[in-house]
Amino acid sequence: MTTSPWQDTGTGVLRLPSGRLVRGRGLRHPMPQGPAPDFAVYLLGKEPPEVPWEARWLRWPDFRLPADHARARDVLGEAWERAAAERVEVACGGGRGRTGTALACLAVLDGVPAAGAVDFVRRGYDRRAVETPWQRRYVRRFGR
């Protein structure tokens, strides 16, 4: 599927070095204006409600890490691949900790050194993204 990309000035949209655009958001907040995602990754402790677009759920409790690291790598890899031609959204409850961690992992997949991926996301998405020391460690190790 090829669709028009996110607007890089849109709410929560992060431009990766390759030019891919990924939108991060908090599910507790209203849906941003504009088009719906084509594909989404939801990072929640319990299964999310149905949505009218294709989505993957990663069991990822608040302030924690993904329950299945191999599945997280697979799903985030799929999100990164699809972001080349589709509108991809990554979301958790508040849109900072888990979402920021996942966006930092996507940045690593896009070529950002793992040691700098959290700072990259904080500059381009949310200055308080990636909330815990273990989330920061997860991003550093994601590059291995």
Per-residue pLDDT, averaged over 118-122, amounts to 98
> Helix, strand, or coil here: 40?
strand
Which of 59-63, 88-92, 100-104, 115-119 is least confident? 59-63
Beta bridge partners of 54: 39
C-alpha of 33 from chain center: 18
Please check the confidence at residue 4 and state whether its pLDDT lies above 70.
no
Which domains can be identified in the chain, with CATH numbers? 14-142 (3.90.190.10)
Among residues of the chain, what percentage have pLDDT more than 90?
Answer: 88
Which residues lie across from 58 on neighbouring strands?
A: 43
Q: What is the pLDDT of residue 7?
A: 77
Q: What share of the chain is helix, strand, coil (3-state, %, to 5)?
A: 35, 20, 50
Cβ proximity of 106 and 76 under 8 Å: yes
Task: Tell which residue, 91, 77, 85, has the closest CA to residue 27.
Answer: 91
- Taking 70 as the threshold, does the pLDDT of residue 56 lie above it? yes
The Cβ-side half-sphere exposure at 108, using a 13 Å CA radius, reads 22
Query: Confidence class of residue 5 from pLDDT cuts 50, 70 and 90?
Result: confident
Residue 3: pLDDT above 70? no
* CA separation for the pair 53, 95 (Å, rounded): 19
Would you state the pLDDT for residue 9?
A: 72
pLDDT tier for residue 10 given thresholds of 50, 70 and 90: confident
Q: What is the pLDDT of residues 65-74, one digit of tens each?
A: 999 999 999 9
